[in-house]
Structure formats: C-alpha cells, structure tokens
Structure 1
Amino acid sequence: MQRRQFIHSAAAAAVASSLSGLSLAQETSRPLRIVVPFPPGGATDMVPRNMQDVLSKLLGGQPVVIENRAGAGGSIGMAEVARATDGLTFGIATLSTQGVNPAVYKKLPYDAINDFVGVTEIVKAPGVLVINPKLIPAKTFAEFVAYLKANPGKVSFATPGNGTIAHMWGAQFLKSTGTQMTHIPYKGAGPAINDLLGGQVPVYFDQVASSLPHIKSGKVVALAVSWHERLEVLPDVPTYAQAGHPDLNDPSWFGLVAPKSTPAAQVERVQKAIIAALKDPAVKQRMAAQGLYPSGTSSADFTKQIASEVAKMKKVAASANIHMD
C-alpha cells in the first residue's frame, strides 16, 4: 500500500509540474469531464472507469466525471466534445468514432481530424470472432470457413449497427475468406450479444473485452482474435494470422481526445496523468482481466494515428461499398 501511495505521489508531482505556470488550485477546483460516446457497460465505458479513481488522485484530487452521451454510432457524444470550450471536457475516442464514422458518413456533426487534438491512445482492444456453438457446427476457424463455403449466404452475422467497426471487421472477413454471410445490424452491442446468446443469430464480430465473460462461460466459442500473439486470457484461441489471414489481425483501440481549442498545457497535464495511471498495478490488473492492453502514446503520435485510421477505413468502406448517407 505504501509503495502504491508513493507511486501516486510521485506521478502526481510530475503531472503538476507540467502545468507551466497554470494554478494547480484553479485546475483542480472544477471537475474534469470525460464523455463516453456509447452506453454504459460496453468496452468503451470500461476504459475510463478502470482508471477514474487513480486518475483523480494523479490530477491532485481533481474530480473526474464520466458522462455517457450515446447515439448515432458515437457521433452525438463526439460532437458534444468538439463543441466544448471550457478546457475541461475530453472524449473517449474509438476506431469507430475517429476512423469508421468519417469513412462511412458523408455528413458528420464533427470533423474527426480537424475538430480535435489527440491526447493519448489509452489501450489496444483485440477483436474476436465468436459463434453460438448450438447453431454452427464448428470448433475451429478452418471448420467455420468450410461451413460457410458449404452454405453460401445461409449464415448471418450480427454487429452493433451499420457502419460500426464490427461491420467493417465482418466485411473484411468475408473478403479475406471468400465467403458469404448476411449482415444483421442491431441498435447497439447489448441487443446483438443478447440475440447471439439466445440463438437468434449465430455469428458476432466483437471486442474481447465485452465477449470474454460469455467465452469463459462456454456460451459462445471464440474462433480467432485480432492480435499479434495469442492472448493470455484466451490462450487456446489463435490469432487471425495464425489462422492464415494476417490482413484481419489489426486490433481496435480506445484513446482520449480534446477539443482543438484546449490549452496545450492542459492536454499535456492530462496526457501525463493517464500515462501514469496506466502504470498503476490496480489499473493494469483490471485492464488485463478484460482483455485490454495499455499503450499510452504522445499527443502528437495519437493525432497522427487518427488521420491514418481515417484514410485506412475509407479504403475498407469503398472496397465493401459501405456508406450510411
């Protein structure tokens, strides 16, 4: 306990030193607001809540408030972040909000590149292909692909909605494997996973963080994960590369962005606090248990990463003819 308190104190001192003349008392008197652009309970929501208490301590006791502003594939929440001018509002950015949405929507209420500054990538989030074993007679990735080829167009796959990262993953899977499935878009991850568990849909492209409890219980079977090596939490599940499809091996990610107008000193202060929080033993343990892998990058690198993801997802969307308006 004493060691953890020392870590917190040292990290907090380092964060405070980055204020560059700003008043620490002024900075910590008002809550830091983190907007999650999706409903509570999903992987996007888990990420900031895993570090909420530690982050507050590292910011000198400044309250950290997490607000869910769900809707329109994350667009409502991100638009709210983009409009904020208080210097205290940040948003959880995802591959969907900052990569897929700009690729599939001609009109968005925010500009994923020009309305924000990247603060840091917080974690990498491996994807996973899961099936309901009562509906699909396959135990391995190869058996599943063989089943799809023997039953072209007769199998459906669920996603949290049209134009989501899961939709993109599904489209990439079909192209890479030369198979056919019918896409069933749901209004969120909750309804999709519920129908997968209930037997209404046999296949789901998800993130490990939200599917892991159902995989562990045996209710669904994981066939492949998008990661550079097998996951500690799923050691028996191959990566897509090991299954012969390295083009499907890219994971998702979650990061933090701020409105473009946010003072650079504030961005640096929060970035340093998150990097420190990711090193906290309790935070690391929570993340690992959920299949989330802490990263932590510079503001400049994350800003460049977002621009790169937009370009990449536009190519995927064009190839699969995915567009929302």
Structure 2
Amino acid sequence: MQAGKTALFLALAASATLPTIAQAQSYPTKPIRLIIPFAPGGTTDIVGRGVADQMSKILGQPVVVENRAGGGGSIGADAIAKAPPDGYTIGISTVSTMAVNPACNPKLSYDPIKDLKPIANVANVANVIAVNPNFPAKDYKEFIAVLKANPGKYSYASSGTCGFGHMLGEQFKVSTKTFIVHIPYRGAGPALNDVLAGQVPIMVDNLPSSMPYIKAGKLRPLVVAWNKRIEGLPDVPTFGELGLKEPNDPAWYGLVAPANTPDDIINKLNAAVVKALQDKGFADRLHAAGAEPSGNTPAQHAAEIKKEFEKMKNLVKVQNIKLEQ
C-alpha cells in the first residue's frame, strides 16, 4: 500500500514538472523583449543591440530592444525585475544597475541579488576620461596640473547620478586629490552630446560609446581603466600604470532575467549568448569599440555582480556618497 502511494506521489511530482520542461524545450515561441536601462547611444545600447541582433538569429524569434532610461539605470532594472519570469523579458546588467545604484540607494525598488537572475556577462569594457579638444591640456599630466590649479572650475559629465561614470569620477577625484563638479545626464548619449558641444569640458565614460568621437578627433582621451594599454590608443596610459589602482577596474555588460525564471530557460539564453559571441563580425565590432567578449556562465556572472556590489557598498560608505549628489 505504501509503495503504491509512493509511486503515485512520484508520478504526480513528475507530471507537475512537465509544463516547465515543455515550456523550456519549446522556448521561445514569441518575441523576447530586451530592456536596455539607458538612453540610446551609450555603451549599454551598443552592447545590447549587438547581442539582441545575434540572439534573434540563434533563437529564431525577434529579440526586441526597449530603452528604459532614467534613475541611473534603476528604472529599466526595476522593469526587468518586475516582469513575468517566463523568459520573454530580459535585460542588460551593468555595474550601475547591479552594484552602484543599489549601493547608493538602499531604498531602491529592487534588490540586485534577490530580484534578478544572471544569464551571462556579454562583454568587459574599458573606461575612459576624455575632454573636449578645446580643454587646455594635451595629456594626463597637463590635465592633473590644470585641475589642481583650478579646483571646482571644471565639470565632468556622466550617464547619471550614482551611475558607473559618476562613481569612477568620484573615485578619480579621491585618488588624485582634485575637485571637479559632477553633471549627471539621462545616459551616456546625452552626456556626450554636451561634451562634444563644449558645454561640459570633461567626459567620464565607457570607452565604446566615446571611441567613435575619439577616432574622429572630437574627443581627446587622457587615461583609461583597463588591464593594459588599448590597442587603438597606444599613447593613452592606464590608471594602473599611473599608480591609481582603485579607478582601474573595467565595466561589464551582461544579461539578467527576473528572479524565478526557470533554469532551463536561463541556460538556453546563456547558450545563445555564448554562440552570439562566437560570431566573428559581432566579436570584431566589440573589439573595435573597446570591449572584450566574455560569455561566462550564469554562476560566474552572479559572482561578478556580488563582488562589485560589495565593493561599491564599501566605496559609498567610505566616501559618504549620497544619491542627491
């Protein structure tokens, strides 16, 4: 009798998992929405649209991009977190949305660890401090001299308050004992527009979104955050070689889904990302923009997120950084 009950229980348990298995096997059966939590034109947009194009081909369904800018990326990240966990809404994860914003704002409407499920790191990206060509400094040494001689005179643009560019800018100020005023924007694209127009003299940015303007001579790069000199910018030093370890970490751009998205769907999306990065054209575009393809596992991206979140919480505490800055 007991054996019969056990067999019945196992049969019911197995049948209960069949819809999930069938869903994962047939997934996707309709378009997937990919939320980019920043305005068009920035690095997040470049990486997001590139991976969306490749994943559309691989998965056999359109991956439709939706830009949801504002709040340093928190509006878009909240939309990802609150979407149904069915694999049909995913989004770009960034250091800003997964670490900086939550560290700056404990009252944020989402928890990066509990409410979002990592899929993969798509690419690691170098960061850059660049200036409008009219800025009175031709290289990093002159730049520091000008800033130290004129504390508070110059300002820098970033993609938003408590975004990654803001934190890098503040970390730069602390490391170099200089003072420049932060001007936040709703994404790197609008920030770049004002720097290019000369309304703000300094840009703190991810390299891919600034690189076209650097190549065109419309921005002058002074220093990069990367583990070595950038191939296309051989004369531009890294923070590391200048003895500034703290600002030298790169940024990363990954994919996340709402928490409780089935693991089988997460793994299918991860496999699509890995395959997308094997496309030579896409990989070459990332390299040309200053990004290094990654394509790691969900567990590895989860570890990256947790590490960066803890680091940013410590930075916010030590430097007393406030969201209203």
Fold agreement, TM-score > 0.5? yes
In structure 1, the residue matched to 2:53 is 53
Deviations 1:121-166 (A, max 9, x none): 110111001012313x222212211221222222222222221111
Aligned length: 304
In structure 2, the residue matched to 1:17 is none
Q: Is the 8 A contact 2:34 2:52 kept in 1?
A: no
Q: Is the 8 A contact 1:130 1:204 kept in 2?
A: yes
Computed over aligned residues only, the root mean square deviation of the Cα atoms, in angstroms, reads 1.8
SS at match of 2:128: strand
- Where structure 2 has 5 or more consecutive residues not aligned to the other structure, the ranges are 1-19
In structure 1, the residue matched to 2:120 is 120
Deviations 1:226-249 (A, max 9, x none): 100111222221111122322221
Pair 1:209–1:116, CA change in 2 (3 A): same
In structure 1, the residue matched to 2:16 is none
- Aligned amino acid, residue 234 of structure 1: L
The offset of 1:117, in angstroms, is: 1.3
In structure 2, the residue matched to 1:185 is 184
How far apart, in 1, do the equivalents of 2:186 and 2:38 lie? 11
The offset of 1:42, in angstroms, is: 1.7
Report the more deviating stretch, 22-31 or 162-171.
22-31
Q: Does 1:216 align with 2:215?
A: yes
In structure 1, the residue matched to 2:99 is 99
Deviations 1:164-188 (A, max 9, x none): 1111011110111111222222343
SS at match of 2:143: helix
Pair 1:40–1:186, CA change in 2 (3 A): closer
How far apart, in 2, do the equivalents of 1:63 and 1:185 lie? 33
Which structure has the larger Rg over C-alpha atoms?
2
Q: Is the 8 A contact 1:73 1:101 kept in 2?
A: yes
In structure 1, the residue matched to 2:7 is none
Q: How does 1:254-293 map to 2 (within 5 A)?
A: 254-293=253-292
The offset of 1:47, in angstroms, is: 1.0
In structure 2, the residue matched to 1:110 is 110
In structure 2, the residue matched to 1:90 is 90
Pair 1:153–1:112, CA change in 2 (3 A): same
Deviations 1:188-217 (A, max 9, x none): 323322221222221111111111111111
How far apart, in 1, do the equivalents of 2:304 and 2:25 lie? 33
Q: How does 1:91-170 map to 2 (within 5 A)?
A: 91-135=91-135, 137-170=136-169
Q: Is the 8 A contact 1:87 1:261 kept in 2?
A: no
How far apart, in 2, do the equivalents of 1:104 and 1:298 lie? 27
Q: How does 1:227-238 map to 2 (within 5 A)?
A: 227-238=226-237
Q: What is the TM-score when the length of structure 1 is the normalising length?
A: 0.88
How far apart, in 2, do the equivalents of 1:118 and 1:214 lie? 32
Q: Is the 8 A contact 1:104 1:324 kept in 2?
A: yes
Q: What is the TM-score when the length of structure 2 is the normalising length?
A: 0.88
Q: Does 1:318 align with 2:317?
A: yes
In structure 2, the residue matched to 1:195 is 194
